[in-house]
Structure 1
Amino acid sequence: MPPPGLVSSYQQYKEDTDSIAAWLASTAKSCGYPSDLLINGPTIKATSARLKGKARAEAKKKPSTTKPSPAHKYIIKIKDFVPLAEFVASKRDVSISNSFMATLRRVIIARGGFGEKLAEQGSVPDELSDAKHGYFVGILEKVFEVLKPRVKTKETAPSPVPSSDEPGVSDFVNQFASLQVYEPSDDFLNAPDLERPKPLEGDKIAYEAEPADSLEDLFVALTMLINDVNKIRSRIEWIWTNYRDGFFDLAAAAVATNTAIDLARHLTDDVEPLFKDHGGLWKVLNKWYLVQMLMKGYDVSDIFNEDSADNFNYDTYDIADGTYILTCRLVSAFIPVIQPDNIPLYKDGMFGYYDPQSDRASKTGYQKFEEDRILLMTIFGEHMAVVRGVANYPVEDEFLRGIQELTNTREISFCLVFAAQIFLDIHYILREHAGKCLETLQKNLKFFDREIEEYFKFHKNLKIENWPASNDHMLREYQRKIKWVLDDPGYKVKAKAYEKLSGHAPLSMEKNLLLKTSPILSGLMLYHFRSEIWDIGIALANAWGSITYSLHLYNALRSANLLTRTWKDMDLVRTLLGDSSFFVGDAPKTLSQSMKKFCLQMGTTMAVFTNKRRGKVSLESRAGPRGIKDGAPVSSMFMDRYLRGKGQVDWSPEHVAKIVDLGLWETEGSEEEGTLMLGQIDDPEKIKQKAKAKHGKGSEKTNLSPDQLIRALMFSLQGETLELSLPYISMHRECWSFLRAVQKHCDPLLRQIYTAAYIEREAQLCWVVGWIFFEHLKVGTATLLVEAQGTVDEFIRTEGTTVLGLLDKLGMPIEFKTQGGAQTA
């Protein structure tokens, strides 16, 4: 069973109910309850479904955590609960555990109060009145009273069956009256801390409670679902409020948000099938909205407005917003315009114009609805242009994915409605700031394009064997894709559709409207290109050894106290990536150690520096150098999906918990008190635990709810933003220029000590560092290191903050603080 904190409220409720049925049936059978009475419900023979293909391969990778399926599964009817309880209670040698009574009480609290609250209303439609109000609760309460006298005497007596006046029940009833209160009750919320009752040992039969299918059962399930997704919705609002206020990065916010919507999709899996038995999602949400209105004290005649063209009372907008009914209604309007091979074209101004600078709080319900309609109709047209006309669009969020599914099935899922609602929520948080998301994306894409162009200028006549021409071709493809996105492929699709329809596109048609309208897609697009250039930059630095071996020389000079300046760009890179990315073991402190660490990093021995080499011995190691280790452990877990267009898409809380466990950033302080800080983990023991988590050995986050997981994920992604954004291609050029300067200045002395054979071509520039270190072992002096000092100091003065300057232009200014004599970013 998944860790309790990762289970949806409805799944938890179902497991509670099934465990009650299983314990009653198993215990009664062990006491001699007639088998023919026990199995008068449906008996299902368990089958072992054989997985095939990819599903089978994936199953093999996962450790088995479940017991073998029993031979049969018995469905215990609800009406049999009381007879079974009475039979068990009649046996003197049977005692009832508190775990059973506590589980029973949780289910009563989860169900209690709804039917009674609904029945109190004056005018209740027949369809709602026909629901089996209180039937199941009455059964459970009777079981509780029958078994209560037989509770183990050594255990604390269970609380009585809760009445409607108790806090637990009234809290849950309030859920139906106000969706702003999230938890049904403390009892139900704390359920994971209590062990559920189990069938008696040796009973090989699986028991389940009779599936509930009444309207009341549906509303209970829907309440639990909406409670769960509203927590996620609230967390997403927290993300984008902090983005608007400048605390969170756009790409990190988008990845965390889309993952949150993934989790909401996961939570709907158990509940959504119930909608079909009651007319589908649209009818269910209509009934749900009606119930909410009745519980708010409205009369049926007040709910429907005869003066409105569509008979909807828009004065109830804020209540309707909590039921998702209006968003579902707007999304439903997409279906009639989805025609084969047709791209719906939204005429600008058809439903008015969205004014993001207006005050939404002062608007009427209908004016708010108008804003919803304008925004959703606009984004729908942009989505359809991509779905129908753009192959291989770089990224896909859950809203775009939902529209793709809608075009195929013509059926609306709750997740699509939720994704649409999140789209609206983000706009109403950002308002006039929403367009800045596209500006941020465009600014970064143009920067990435310049980075690649500068690379080609720098390497026009500079080549190396382990950076083949195919890599340069890949870089040109990356540039081409940037220009393709900036040129807006969806715009061209719409323009052709307009030409076919009326001969020309309207002059008011705007480029990049999809990315301008969707902050999530803009953020995911930024993540896509940022992670790709990060991958390229690390590979480039590893192929040339530029950053690593420049750091080795810089570290040796610092350790010898020969420098008067600090190389801030290098200090930043070292802080972000850690010494383990550059040194085997701890960083060296002496010249002898520096030489050994250099050779270990190069994957060679010191013999290559001696004069006893025979003939032309290649200075490159056949084993190859040790490169910079893979970084950004949390962010990199999303690259398969958002960079490579494959991999995990349906994230479960378990998946997210494992990813968050990899993070090397942690929070300190309190959000409420304004003392919250985000810092890198530097405790070696904690880092070891993180390494174990990467290989699936343990998990720290399995007790978090989905919304808490998203909070932890958001902080992990934010912590890695700088590491993922650092322009490693620029740092590579800076470090190669650094090595050039050192080699040029030290060349006469290098020739004097080692002859002109010390270097044969510029691609071997990194070996100059080794020759500088080797002097100490060869002749016992450090003349070369001292000679390099002046050049290095001058280089740091003139070029040592190039990368910092680029980051500042991208809106990521870095400050350095001195701690214990060391400089940290």
Structure 2
Amino acid sequence: MLPPELLSEYQRYKHDTNSIASWLASTARSLGFTSSALPPATVSGDKPETKGRLKGKARQLAKEKAASPPPVKDEQPVGPNYIIGIQDYITLAEYIASKSAPVPRAFTTTLNRVITARTRFYSKLEKYDKVPDEDDDAKHKYFIHEGVREILEPLMEDDKDQEAPISNPSLHNRFDKLELHEPSQAFLETPDVERPSNFEGDEATYVAEAMASILDSIVTLTIFLNNVNDIRDHLKWVWLNYKNGGFDLAAAAITTNTAIEIVRQMMEDIEPSLKLDDGVGPMIKKIYMLQCLEEGRSMKDIIDPNNNVNYDTYDTASDTFFTAYIILRDCRHILRPDNILLFQGSKFGYYDPTSGHDQKTGHQKHKDDRAVLMSFCSQAITIVREMKKWPIQDEFMRGINEIDKTKEIPFYAIFAAQVFLDITYTLGEDIEKPFHTMHEQIAAMDDDIGLHLEFHSQLTTARLPALYDQILRKFQDCVQLIYRDPVPKLQSRIDRDDGIPAPDEKNQQIFRASPVISGILLYLFRAHYRRAGIVAANAWISIQSCQHLFNALGQHLMIKCPWSDMNAAYKILGASEFYSGGVPPTSLEDMYTKFCFRAGTSATIMGSRIRNQNVSLVSRAGTRGITAASPVQCMFEARHAHCNTHVEVNPGNFHEIRKLNLSYQGAPMEDDALDTDQIEDSKKIKWKRGKRWSNKGQGRRKTTAKSENLNPSKMLEHLILALQAETPRFSFPYLKFHRRCWRVLRAVKESCDTLLRQIYTPAYINDEDELPFVVGWILRAAVGGRHGDLRPLQEAAKALETYIQSETGIPIVSNIPIQPLLGEKIKETEDESESENDC
């Protein structure tokens, strides 16, 4: 179940109908109404009667239910529950009218909204060849609500400010050229939707009888499609900004996959109210035909008997998801349990990304749709049937798997297919850009892990988990599996068995065709690589000790060369990851104290002139490592990085995004709104709460965000901005930076060793895994005595400057998507890097 702020317009329509039933029943009862119209109540919280001890499956299900945490629910009145029949509305209204009870404005407004919604759809349905029969009309037609209004109208309060009826009942509820503008102040000050409440003291819950006529199904599904099309347009905006360099690939892919999961849950919520004897597809066809009728087409012009859709109606078929449905239907028809059936281009055609899809005719666009979807289905079917250990599965592949197993076409698969097409045409000639981005970044991670294993092949520490190296090698094995791409080999084997020539396609075709799968795979490897890097950096205490040294040298003006990688790491992680209290120390005493605290060492041990070699430098409290907290990114680890395909969209996740508010509330979908800020610490997170974007050119101002106005599309907008804000921290190459910091520590130790031996004797360090504590000894020397010994600190400055000047190659931060967020240009060539480091 989705949280209240993600409810679709259908759910609000449903709440309106329940509010009408609730007010009628509660008010009538308060006036003395007693009738069988209110069936026996089911008291909330009563336990179901059971006979004897549960056994078998029933007992297991009861255990699982008891062990599972209670679902997140809205607060509801405590009391009996009643279902109010549609046929009882008139009876209740007449009784209230006989008592001359006043009707509140909230009831009038809510009733008018429901009548407006139902009236406009019935006028369309009358044009169709299958109009509901008289019995169905008598039970469910909109005039029941009109009858209620007619009866109670003399008692209604003046409602001059009520919502105006919707004048354009068209299905199209799309953004104009994908642009959103700042809402007016009048809109922001508009009160939330008000519905009538129960009579004071009535704690019962009244629910309107569920309606299941063709009319109600069309009303429900049309409202639902309007919401889904809003989500679809937001996803186009996401990928358009990815194409223009505004969004990270993994953030765009996770947002898209989450959107499909949301749509799946929305459909699960409304499905009980739909009359879907033959599935959702035939109902989509009815809505498509009704939309065509409203556009002025005749019935004979709508459906082409040979092609299922008139190509002149391509845009309407796309808006109603009818095109995606019929292609998936055709795909399902030709699938056989014993045959994967490769959809080769010779049969279904090829899509040319450079051909300009938007300028084509409806017939040409339909051919592109078939070529794109059939080709992807071929790859997906091969994977879901033949490769049980495939590392990732997005919602589209999940839908194809469900179609293959059940032969039913769920709506989320239809939506995923249409989104797949939208992304393909939005990216156009750049359709393989996500694949190349993913391939390059995964190759860099793979190479870096190999270098790390080689770097530490002769060095161990008790602070590092014993299975750490095995985990890294498993990571490399997974990368090699992707590189080998076993799909073409499987398809070639199937081809040979069937006597079909193998299709001539590029390797890793499924990643080239699907930006979402490429992005999710990139996220998967980033998550594992990030975890490996943080574990290594914390075990060796490398990054933090170098930052403490760099701060000490900078505070005393002993070094003038910029260390671009450390500056980037410090800005990405924030001061709180290095210093208690989140404030860099300025005095030598504070520098020494804060280093000891972070390194987990004892001030007593390091304060001694002669160290006992049998005593560890690390205290029982242990080190305080970096966490690189990325709460929104990490929400999706169980779903993607750990290959758990059963994780659902959790309402708590969206509540957490709202709570942290990592992005600006209500950011307009414009290019200049994409300079998302870094979240450095908890204080900055709190500072961002309630922040929103102002009108263009007026700067930023603080207002209170109205969470009640959030909907699925708006929440996805918050999600992509939050993911984008966390991308630098999540994708930073901690493993590579750890090795560079370790080289710095080696250079510092070698430079200061003679002096430190004189001050502390050779016992100050036992093994190389204690290298980070050289920083502590240097700071201790500077603090000790009446004047302190600054010579080791000065030698450390020389060593660090020499390292920075001699370090060649591209800075590590130049290969991760953080440059727009750092506020500084990262040099990308060796010559530029050397000139920047020139002291």
* TM-score relative to the length of structure 2: 0.87
Q: Does 1:106 align with 2:113?
A: yes
Provide the C-alpha distance between the structure 2 equivalents of 1:652 and 1:225, rounded to a whole number of angstroms: 21
Q: Map 1:512-527; keep pairs closer than 5 Å.
A: 512-527=508-523
What does the per-residue CA deviation read over 1:172-196, in whole Å, with 9 as the maximum and x for residues that have no partner?
Answer: x133x7767899xx99999991332
Q: After superposing the two structures, state which structure 1 stretch, 658-667 or 741-750, moved more.
A: 658-667
Preserved contact between residue 658 and residue 699 of structure 1 (Cα < 8 Å): no
2:531 corresponding residue in structure 1: 535
SS at match of 2:341: coil
Residues 74 and 468 (structure 1), Cα distance of their counterparts in 2 relative to 1, 3 Å cut? closer
SS at match of 2:350: coil
Q: Map 1:296-311; keep pairs closer than 5 Å.
A: 296-305=295-304, 309-310=306-307
Residues 673 and 461 (structure 1), Cα distance of their counterparts in 2 relative to 1, 3 Å cut? closer
2:482 corresponding residue in structure 1: 485
Residues 675 and 202 (structure 1), Cα distance of their counterparts in 2 relative to 1, 3 Å cut? closer
Q: Does 1:545 align with 2:545?
A: no
SS at match of 2:726: helix
Residues 691 and 773 (structure 1), Cα distance of their counterparts in 2 relative to 1, 3 Å cut? farther
2:67 aligned residue (57, 68, 71): 57
Report deviation, 1:771.
0.5
1:627 aligned residue (625, 629, 654): 625
- The amino acid of 1:714's aligned partner reads I
Provide the C-alpha distance between the structure 2 equivalents of 1:664 and 1:300, rounded to a whole number of angstroms: 51
Provide the C-alpha distance between the structure 1 equivalents of 2:577 and 2:20, rounded to a whole number of angstroms: 54
Preserved contact between residue 144 and residue 161 of structure 1 (Cα < 8 Å): no
Residues 317 and 524 (structure 1), Cα distance of their counterparts in 2 relative to 1, 3 Å cut? same
Residues 793 and 456 (structure 1), Cα distance of their counterparts in 2 relative to 1, 3 Å cut? same
- The amino acid of 1:625's aligned partner reads T
SS at match of 2:170: helix
Provide the C-alpha distance between the structure 1 equivalents of 2:689 and 2:145, rounded to a whole number of angstroms: 48
2:497 corresponding residue in structure 1: 500
Preserved contact between residue 549 and residue 766 of structure 1 (Cα < 8 Å): yes
Report deviation, 1:373.
0.8
Residues 459 and 126 (structure 1), Cα distance of their counterparts in 2 relative to 1, 3 Å cut? closer
Provide the C-alpha distance between the structure 2 equivalents of 1:669 and 1:713, rounded to a whole number of angstroms: 12
2:768 aligned residue (749, 762, 765): 762
Q: Does 1:748 align with 2:754?
A: yes
2:830 corresponding residue in structure 1: none
Gaps of 5+ in 2: 49-57, 691-703, 826-835
1:195 corresponding residue in structure 2: 194
Report deviation, 1:29.
1.9
Q: Does 1:783 align with 2:781?
A: no
- The amino acid of 2:19's aligned partner reads S
- The amino acid of 2:782's aligned partner reads H
SS at match of 2:345: coil
What does the per-residue CA deviation read over 1:155-176, in whole Å, with 9 as the maximum and x for residues that have no partner?
Answer: xx214998xxxx53213x133x
Provide the C-alpha distance between the structure 1 equivalents of 2:489 and 2:364, rounded to a whole number of angstroms: 33
SS at match of 2:609: coil
Residues 594 and 484 (structure 1), Cα distance of their counterparts in 2 relative to 1, 3 Å cut? same
- The amino acid of 1:620's aligned partner reads V
SS at match of 1:622: coil
Report deviation, 1:768.
0.5
Gaps of 5+ in 1: 693-697
Report deviation, 1:732.
0.5
Report deviation, 1:725.
2.0
Report deviation, 1:403.
1.3
Provide the C-alpha distance between the structure 2 equivalents of 1:601 and 1:701, rounded to a whole number of angstroms: 39
Residues 699 and 623 (structure 1), Cα distance of their counterparts in 2 relative to 1, 3 Å cut? farther
Report deviation, 1:115.
2.0
Q: Map 1:314-333; keep pairs closer than 5 Å.
A: 314-333=311-330
- The amino acid of 2:20's aligned partner reads I
Residues 53 and 209 (structure 1), Cα distance of their counterparts in 2 relative to 1, 3 Å cut? same
Q: Percent identity?
A: 37
Q: Map 1:589-628; keep pairs closer than 5 Å.
A: 589-609=586-606, 610-611=608-609, 616-628=614-626
2:137 aligned residue (132, 136, 140): 132
Report deviation, 1:146.
2.9
Report deviation, 1:630.
3.9
Report deviation, 1:354.
1.2
Preserved contact between residue 353 and residue 428 of structure 2 (Cα < 8 Å): yes
Q: What is the total number of aligned residue pairs between the two structures?
A: 790
Q: Does 1:722 align with 2:720?
A: no
SS at match of 1:795: helix
SS at match of 1:679: coil
Q: Does 1:95 align with 2:102?
A: yes
Preserved contact between residue 2 and residue 265 of structure 2 (Cα < 8 Å): no
2:255 corresponding residue in structure 1: 256
Q: Map 1:327-366; keep pairs closer than 5 Å.
A: 327-366=324-363
What does the per-residue CA deviation read over 1:4-25, in whole Å, with 9 as the maximum and x for residues that have no partner?
Answer: 5322111111111112112111
2:27 corresponding residue in structure 1: 27
- The amino acid of 1:796's aligned partner reads I
Q: Map 1:359-438; keep pairs closer than 5 Å.
A: 359-438=356-435
Report deviation, 1:702.
6.0
Report deviation, 1:507.
6.1
Report deviation, 1:659.
3.2
- The amino acid of 1:623's aligned partner reads A
Report deviation, 1:598.
0.9
What does the per-residue CA deviation read over 1:561-619, in whole Å, with 9 as the maximum and x for residues that have no partner?
Answer: 21111211101101111111111222211110011001111223211020365562222
Report deviation, 1:397.
0.8
Residues 259 and 194 (structure 1), Cα distance of their counterparts in 2 relative to 1, 3 Å cut? same
SS at match of 1:208: strand
Provide the C-alpha distance between the structure 2 equivalents of 1:15 and 1:339, rounded to a whole number of angstroms: 44
* TM-score relative to the length of structure 1: 0.88
Preserved contact between residue 782 and residue 793 of structure 2 (Cα < 8 Å): no
Residues 399 and 655 (structure 1), Cα distance of their counterparts in 2 relative to 1, 3 Å cut? same
SS at match of 1:207: strand
CA RMSD across the alignment: 3.4
Report deviation, 1:648.
6.5
- The amino acid of 1:770's aligned partner reads G
SS at match of 1:113: helix
Provide the C-alpha distance between the structure 1 equivalents of 2:816 and 2:29, rounded to a whole number of angstroms: 70
What does the per-residue CA deviation read over 1:251-295, in whole Å, with 9 as the maximum and x for residues that have no partner?
Answer: 111011111111111221233334444532122112111111111
Provide the C-alpha distance between the structure 1 equivalents of 2:599 and 2:384, rounded to a whole number of angstroms: 49
Residues 682 and 145 (structure 1), Cα distance of their counterparts in 2 relative to 1, 3 Å cut? farther
Preserved contact between residue 338 and residue 344 of structure 1 (Cα < 8 Å): yes
Provide the C-alpha distance between the structure 2 equivalents of 1:771 and 1:188, rounded to a whole number of angstroms: 62
Provide the C-alpha distance between the structure 2 equivalents of 1:531 and 1:733, rounded to a whole number of angstroms: 19
Preserved contact between residue 112 and residue 134 of structure 1 (Cα < 8 Å): no
1:464 corresponding residue in structure 2: 461
Report deviation, 1:86.
2.1
- The amino acid of 2:563's aligned partner reads W
2:264 corresponding residue in structure 1: 265
2:122 corresponding residue in structure 1: 115
Preserved contact between residue 437 and residue 519 of structure 1 (Cα < 8 Å): yes
Q: Map 1:96-245; keep pairs closer than 5 Å.
A: 96-119=103-126, 121=127, 124-127=128-131, 132=137, 136-151=141-156, 157-159=158-160, 168-171=165-168, 173-175=169-171, 193-203=192-202, 205-245=204-244
SS at match of 1:168: coil
Provide the C-alpha distance between the structure 2 equivalents of 1:179 and 1:63, rounded to a whole number of angstroms: 32
Residues 478 and 126 (structure 1), Cα distance of their counterparts in 2 relative to 1, 3 Å cut? closer
What does the per-residue CA deviation read over 1:407-428, in whole Å, with 9 as the maximum and x for residues that have no partner?
Answer: 2221111111000110011001
Report deviation, 1:337.
3.3
